[in-house]
Structures are given as structure tokens and as C-alpha cells.
């Protein structure tokens, strides 16, 4: 790389350096696509732009939801309904495709997404009502597909656990993907459901490099600890898989085979991956983060992203948004498939059982025999 190019990159990194908030991935509250005004930091003569960023506390608000099951009809995902107990995510993964959804709430997809969270306190009761509707047809529910159902605030609010309790009582199948070891807390609920073919868990692992992970997903469980979670879940008899997600070209893709190998040794038997997705405001957020932590790799990373996205930073077409296209994306798919074949991933796939489902109304009448109780 020419000296002039290196100097230009370093000048941008030094003089336009964004604020660094401890434990946060985003560096500011960039305006959303719905905002009519923009915000800009200005030096007031007191050197305030050179000061360290103040601590940023997490704020949790009530989310007044009328329903809790969200139905989706995307042809490139293996489920048709989800439940998200929380909106926003304290894990703060800079690459999270859910960040732009915070704009619908009037918040920024930046720091607001990580620190201004909403929780659906009445989600368990809403779920009972929806499962009890006469026309409800049972199909597996995916938990936390927008934001992680086991993010840090779950320790206090326990909404995910309460939702699983409702699903367990009604023999309703579910699956989830998480980056948190907190899922181990609920093995007592999940393992009995798994024994009846009602539950499966995927653990998402992006990289095995602790330093990259710390900056990339600052409040998520450390990579090696997630592998331990895979082991504990599989030892409990829970069908466990690994998601290499997202794969970031020239930054984390080198770890794909290692992640798969270590996850298989830990007991995972299913695997998947997702190519980096950068919809809407996420492009700017991710590029700012790249220039902040990996300035000499930033151009190369984004070049490979655009080569795999038809010349753009993102493509939303079904079938392409998860995998990308072009030479690099094809090579990535080949690497993944060869590694899975060599290790023995995805050789068997048993569907979650929907035949055992019973509506919440029927809970009061469960008997050893067919006769229902009067009271």
C-alpha cells in the first residue's frame, strides 16, 4: 500500500477518532433514517472533544405489546414465528442486523440500541392467551431471533425463562440462538423438553480471538466460554448446534474451520453460518467501528463485502442476504460445506415435535385418564 494511502487512513483515524465508551461497541448515536435533523460534535474551546466519554448506563423501559408471537413469511429462514422478549440488546454487537429496527422506536441504532432497552413484562401472559386461541396451529417458535433472549438484563427480568415455562407446560416446541452462557441456567426446563423432541439450541460464535470478540461484541460471553456452553447443553441431552455468525471477511472468516472443529468436539452436531449483513444505518456504524479498531484492514474488509453484495454494502434479496454472492461468498460456502462434511455436521436432522401440544386452557384438566375434572 502506498505511503500516501496509509497516511490518509491514519489521519482519518487520529483526527476523526470517535468517542470510546467502555463496554460499548458503537461510538455514538448516529441519527436514524427517519430523523429530520442530524447531530454533530463541535469543540466549544474547552477541549471537550478530547475528553474521555462519560459512563453510559443501561436504561430499561416497559414495552406495551398487544401480542408476543411475531409471524414471518421469509422463504430463506426455517421458521414462521418468533418471540422477542426484549428490544435492543445490551450485548452491543456492532454488526447486529437488528440495530436499524431501533429506529422504529424513535431511538438511534447506535448507542441507544445497546443502552435503551425495552422489555415485554407481560409476555408470558400474552403467550398463554395466544396459545389458547381456538384457531391456533402449533409450529416451532424461534426465541430471540431479533435480539438475544439471554442478553444480560435477562438475569434480572427472567422473561425468557418464564416464556419457556409456558412453552414447557403446553408441550410447545421451540428453538433459539444465543451468544450467552446464561442459557445454562434454564437447562432444568430445556432438557426435559428436549427429551420429548420439543427443544433445540444453537450457540453463535463469531471468532476465537478474544481481543476481536471484546471489541466486536463487548458484553457477550467470551468465545471459549460459549464452547463450554455447547458442551454443557449437549451433555444435558439437548440437541445443540453452532452458528458461525456473522462471518466477516478478512477479519473473522479465518476462524470458521476452527470454530466448527471445537464446537463438534464440544458436542454440537448441527451447524450454520451467515455472511455479514449491513442494512440501513448499520453500514455507517460498522465502517466507523472498523476505522476505529482496524484502520489498516477497513478498506479490504469493505471491498470484500461489496464484492459479495453485488457492488453494494448490502443486498436484501431472499436467498442472497444470508450468504452473499460472487467468488468470495462461493469460496466461503465451499469451505463451510467441506468442513461440515469432514467433521460430520448436519448428517441427521430430526424435526421438533408438534403433536404433543396442548392449549393452556387444557392445563387445568390434565388427568392420568381421559376423564376431565369438573373444577
Q: Are 85 and 149 in contact (CB under 8 A)?
A: yes
Q: Burial-class residue 41 by CB neighbours within 10 Å (0-12, 13-18, 19+).
A: exposed
Residue 322 lies in a domain: yes
Residue 364 domain flag: no
CA–CA distance, 89 with 92 (Å, rounded to integer): 6
User: What's the pLDDT at 15?
Assistant: 36
For residue 354, being part of any structural domain is answered with no
Tally of domains within the chain: 1
Q: Give the pLDDT confidence score for residue 116 in this predicted structure.
A: 95
Per the CB < 8 A criterion, the answer to whether 28 and 109 are in contact is no
pLDDT for 287: 96
Cα 190 from chain centre: 20
Any domain includes 233: yes
What pLDDT does residue 6 have? 41
251 inside domain: yes
Give every CB contact of residue 141 below 8 A, 6+ residues apart in sequence.
69, 79, 81, 82, 83, 167, 172, 173, 174, 175
CATH code, domain with 179: 3.80.30.30
Per-residue pLDDT at 375: 44
- The residue segments making up the domain with residue 145 are 3-35+54-348
pLDDT on residue 39: 64
Per-residue pLDDT of the chain (375 residues; tens, 9 = 90+): 444 444 444 344 333 456 677 889 888 887 777 776 666 666 666 665 566 666 788 999 999 888 999 999 888 888 999 999 999 999 999 999 999 999 989 899 999 999 999 999 999 999 999 999 999 999 999 999 999 999 999 999 999 999 999 999 999 999 999 999 999 999 999 999 999 999 999 999 999 999 999 999 999 999 999 999 999 999 999 999 999 999 999 999 999 999 999 999 999 999 999 999 999 999 999 999 999 999 999 999 999 999 999 999 998 888 888 999 999 999 999 999 999 999 999 998 779 999 999 987 755 555 444 444 444
Q: Give the C-alpha separation, 312 to 228, whole Å.
A: 37
Give the chain as a 3 state SS string: CCHHHHHHHHHHHHHCCCCCCCCCCCCCCCCCCCCCCCCCCCCCCCCHHHCCCCCCCCEEEECCCCCCEEECCCCCCCCCEEECCEECCCCCCCCCCCHHHHHHHCCCCCHHHHHEEEECCCHHHHHHHHHCCCCCCCCCEEECCCCCCCCCCHHHHCHHHHHHHHHHHCCCCEEEEECCHHHHHHHHHHHHHHHCCCEEEEEECCCCCHHHHHHHCCCCCCHHHHHHHHHHHHHCCCCEEEEEEEECCCCCHHHHHHHHHHHHHHCCCEEEEEECCCCCCHHHHHHHHHHHHCCCCHHHHHHHHHHCCCCCCCCCCCCCCCCCCCHHHHHHHHHHHHHHHHHCCCCCCCCCCCCCCCCHHHHHHCCCCCCCCCC
How far is it, in rounded angstroms, from Cα 162 to Cα 7?
A: 54
Decide if 152 is inside a domain. yes
**In the prediction, which pLDDT does 45 show?**
66
pLDDT of residue 333: 97
Residue 147 falls inside a structural domain: yes
Domain assignment present for residue 41? The answer is no
Amino acid at each position: 500500500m502506498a505511503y500516501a494511502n496509509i497516511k490518509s487512513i491514519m489521519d482519518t483515524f487520529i483526527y476523526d477518532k470517535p468517542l470510546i465508551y467502555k463496554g460499548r461497541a458503537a461510538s455514538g448515536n448516529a441519527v436514524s433514517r427517519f430523523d429530520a435533523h442530524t447531530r454533530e460534535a463541535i469543540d466549544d474551546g474547552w477541549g471537550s472533544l478530547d475528553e474521555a466519554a462519560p459512563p453510559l448506563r443501561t436504561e430499561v423501559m416497559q414495552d406495551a405489546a398487544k401480542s408476543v408471537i411475531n409471524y414471518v413469511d421469509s422463504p430463506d429462514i426455517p421458521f414462521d414465528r418468533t418471540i422477542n422478549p426484549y428490544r435492543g440488546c445490551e450485548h452491543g454487537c456492532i454488526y447486529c442486523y437488528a440495530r436499524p429496527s431501533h429506529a422504529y422506536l424513535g431511538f438511534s441504532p447506535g448507542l441507544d440500541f445497546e443502552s435503551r432497552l425495552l422489555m415485554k413484562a407481560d409476555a408470558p401472559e400474552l403467550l398463554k392467551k395466544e396459545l389458547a386461541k381456538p384457531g391456533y396451529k402449533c409450529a416451532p417458535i424461534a426465541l430471540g431471533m431479533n435480539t438475544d433472549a439471554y442478553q444480560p438484563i435477562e438475569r434480572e427480568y427472567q422473561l425468557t425463562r418464564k416464556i419457556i415455562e409456558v412453552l414447557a407446560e403446553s408441550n410447545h416446541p421451540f428453538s433459539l440462538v444465543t451468544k450467552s452462557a446464561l442459557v445454562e441456567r434454564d437447562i432444568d426446563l430445556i432438557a426435559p423438553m428436549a427429551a420429548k423432541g420439543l427443544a433445540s439450541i444453537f450457540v453463535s460464535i463469531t471468532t476465537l480471538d478474544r481481543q476481536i470478540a471484546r471489541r466486536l461484541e463487548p458484553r457477550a460471553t467470551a468465545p471459549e466460554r460459549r464452547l463450554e456452553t455447547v458442551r454443557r447443553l449437549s451433555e444435558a441431552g439437548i440437541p445443540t448446534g453452532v452458528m458461525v455468525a456473522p462471518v466477516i471477511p478478512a477479519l473473522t472468516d479465518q476462524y470458521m474451520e476452527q470454530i466448527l472443529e471445537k464446537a463438534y468436539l464440544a458436542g454440537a452436531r448441527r451447524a450454520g453460518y451467515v455472511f455479514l449483513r449491513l442494512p440501513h444505518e448499520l453500514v455507517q456504524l460498522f465502517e466507523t467501528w472498523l476505522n476505529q479498531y482496524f484502520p489498516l484492514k477497513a478498506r479490504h474488509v469493505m471491498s470484500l463485502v461489496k464484492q459479495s453484495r453485488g457492488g453494494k454494502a448490502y443486498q436484501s434479496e431472499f436467498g442472497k442476504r444470508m450468504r452473499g454472492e460472487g467468488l468470495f461468498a462461493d469460496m466461503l460456502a465451499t469451505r463451510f460445506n467441506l468442513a461440515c462434511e469432514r467433521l460430520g455436521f448436519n448428517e441427521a436432522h430430526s424435526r421438533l415435535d408438534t403433536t404433543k401440544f396442548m392449549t393452556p386452557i387444557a392445563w387445568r384438566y390434565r388427568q392420568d385418564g381421559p376423564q376431565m375434572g369438573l373444577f
